[in-house]
Structure 1
Amino acid sequence: MTYEFTIIVPVYNEQECLPQLFVQLKEYLSRASKKTKVLLVDDGSSDASPSMIREFCSKNEDFKYLIFEKNFGKGAALKAAFDHTDTPFLGYLDADLQTYPEDFEKLLPFLGDYDLVTGWRKERKDTIVKRISSKVGNGVRNVFTRDYMHDTGCPLKIIKTAYAKNIPMFKGLQRFLPAMVLLQNGRIKEVEIPHYPRLAGKSKYNFRNRFMGPLLDCFAYVWMKKSYINYKVADKDE
């Protein structure tokens, strides 16, 4: 059976989370509504994550990996995964398991009518600082992008691969996926999903990189929006 759906998982120093991540992904693949495979992208981890990923993938044929030579950032990890995806649909999941693979089933039914479906973590299970900084970051992005998403940064999304491959690479890419699909005249939708507390490892974010970085990225997005090339071929001579 041909794969229909690829789950992309960026990984950066998540050795404590990986064993449970592997368990949950395998369990989900066994009952997923679409034939699914997983692409793990290690973003230059300095812990045991790369070796754990290699070992696990060598024993599980539905799992593949990309290992970066150094840390390039989550945007680069996602772009590389988009470029290496060969299924009609792709999804994105963080390795920290604050969202669960099984919740892709809440998003998949909407792919007939929409080109990107994203989760909305309405009831956040984060620290107060993380919740405030995320709320401020979302507000700032909405001013620039006007995608009117409640939770642009939610790490559980499904995108039609054709749209994902047309998204240009830039730092902070993960914060603008809905807006970049809108630039292609695509349709987007939010769906409420559960959110879970981090059980292991450490968050890589703080107020500075949740607010200052995204603010600077917004100016890059404004430039890109004005310069973005979008076309569709009506006919061609073979």
Structure 2
Amino acid sequence: MPQLSVVVPVFNERDNVKPLIDEIVAALRGRQDFEIVYVDDCSKDDTLAVLQGLKAQVPELRVIKHISQSGQSTAVRSGVKAARGTWIATLDGDGQNDPADIPKLIAARDGGPAEVKLYAGWRVHRQDTGSKRWASRIANAIRSRMLRDSTPDTGCGIKLFDREAFLDLPYFNHMHRYLPALMQRSGWKTVSVPVNHRARSTGVSKYNNLNRALVGIADLRGVAWLIRRAKRTAVEEIG
């Protein structure tokens, strides 16, 4: 069984698929047992066909597809549920995350305490447009103030987390943007690790600042409510 599952959700990313898979393999092959789980969220281009063609060349690659388009959070969760590794690394399918940072996150985990269940990437030098950087900065400031999750960049796609801890989190659309706060709600600790960030080389972004803001307001209120209503206790078996 693989020690690590790399989960990559994609929608209309046919030109980014092979370069990103090649980089994942270069970063991990020979270092540890791993698998790559791509989740196609009903792409309208031939992303799925490209993935199927690569399976013969990359034995670590697994491909699953959604029957109906469901969004990034559901794609991530579908990939984690299908994964066989006890730890999950996630990457955005657009190639802006650098797979070479996965070993850095693994090293941080190996040197960290057991109660840390999420190592979140922190894009210190973002390679996005000025409007996206400003929007992200404002959103992170508001989120941090409301949720107090001590995370400078919750929207970074590259993360490393414990599979079992993730599947125990409350599930809702857009939950992938709030993983540090949700992990902390469950009693675990999280750590942010500086990572590389790259400009998109091909394809187009699936989001804009307006739709992010509109859904973000409702999501923030919902996550804040979940945190307020959380209740945890230790248990022991009586033998």
TM-score (norm 1): 0.92
In 1, distance between residues paired with 2:78 and 2:232?
Answer: 21
Deviations 1:136-188 (A, max 9, x none): 22122112221021111011100011211111220111111111110111111
The code of the aligned residue for 1:56 comes to: L
1:26: which partner in 2? 25
Query: 1:200: how far off?
Result: 0.7
1:15: which partner in 2? 14
In 1, distance between residues paired with 2:132 and 2:52?
Answer: 32
Query: 1:133: how far off?
Result: 1.2
In 2, distance between residues paired with 1:25 and 1:153?
Answer: 21
Query: 1:58: how far off?
Result: 4.3
1:163: which partner in 2? 165
Query: 1:23: how far off?
Result: 1.5
Q: 1:215 to 1:22 in 2, by over 3 A?
A: same
Query: 1:61: how far off?
Result: 2.2
Q: 1:216 to 1:231 in 2, by over 3 A?
A: same
Q: How does 1:211-230 map to 2 (within 5 A)?
A: 211-228=213-230, 230=232
Decide whether the 8 Å contact of 1:125 with 1:196 is kept in 2. Answer: yes
In 1, distance between residues paired with 2:80 and 2:233?
Answer: 20
Task: For residue 61 of structure 1, give the secondary structure of its aligned residue in structure 2.
Answer: coil
Decide whether the 8 Å contact of 1:134 with 1:210 is kept in 2. Answer: no
Q: How does 1:81-96 map to 2 (within 5 A)?
A: 81-96=79-94
Unaligned 5+ segments in structure 2 are: none
Q: How does 1:1-238 map to 2 (within 5 A)?
A: 2-32=1-31, 34-111=32-109, 112-113=112-113, 114-228=116-230, 230=232, 232-235=234-237
Deviations 1:93-126 (A, max 9, x none): 0111111111011111222422111111111111
The code of the aligned residue for 1:141 comes to: R
Q: 1:236 to 1:80 in 2, by over 3 A?
A: farther
Decide whether the 8 Å contact of 1:16 with 1:201 is kept in 2. Answer: yes
Task: For residue 16 of structure 1, give the secondary structure of its aligned residue in structure 2.
Answer: helix
Unaligned 5+ segments in structure 1 are: none
The code of the aligned residue for 2:10 comes to: V
In 1, distance between residues paired with 2:222 and 2:62?
Answer: 32
In 1, distance between residues paired with 2:48 and 2:205?
Answer: 18
Decide whether the 8 Å contact of 1:29 with 1:37 is kept in 2. Answer: no
The code of the aligned residue for 2:4 comes to: F
In 2, distance between residues paired with 1:234 and 1:206?
Answer: 48
Task: For residue 88 of structure 2, give the secondary structure of its aligned residue in structure 1.
Answer: strand
In 2, distance between residues paired with 1:116 and 1:66?
Answer: 24
Task: For residue 116 of structure 1, give the secondary structure of its aligned residue in structure 2.
Answer: strand
Decide whether the 8 Å contact of 2:20 with 2:95 is kept in 1. Answer: yes
Task: For residue 115 of structure 1, give the secondary structure of its aligned residue in structure 2.
Answer: strand
Query: 1:13: how far off?
Result: 0.6
